[in-house]
Amino acid sequence: MSELAIDSMILQLPGLPEFEARRLALEITSQLADEKLIGAPREIPALRVHLPASGKENTSQLASMIVAQMMCEIRRLQG
């Protein structure tokens, strides 16, 4: 079983209230917990994702978009 530890998560979401940002962070970590990380790098010093959200996504949809981008980057780093 692979583990993923997140030391810090910085979300830059202009206009999103703090309580929504917290909900989003919790949703991201929840969705990441469901991902299969077999063969993932042992340590990733930083991971940055950018996504063109339309502003119409709900928290769960936005979290899914972020997690998908994160997993793409993690798989890319697998080599």
Q: pLDDT tens digit string along 29-48?
A: 899 888 877 666 667 778 88
Sign of CA dihedral 48, 54, 25, 34: negative
Full-model pTM: 0.79
Phi-psi region at 27: left, alpha or beta (left = phi > 0; alpha = psi -120 to 50): alpha
Average pLDDT for 49-78: 84
Mean pLDDT of all residues in 9-17: 81
- At 40 the pLDDT is 65
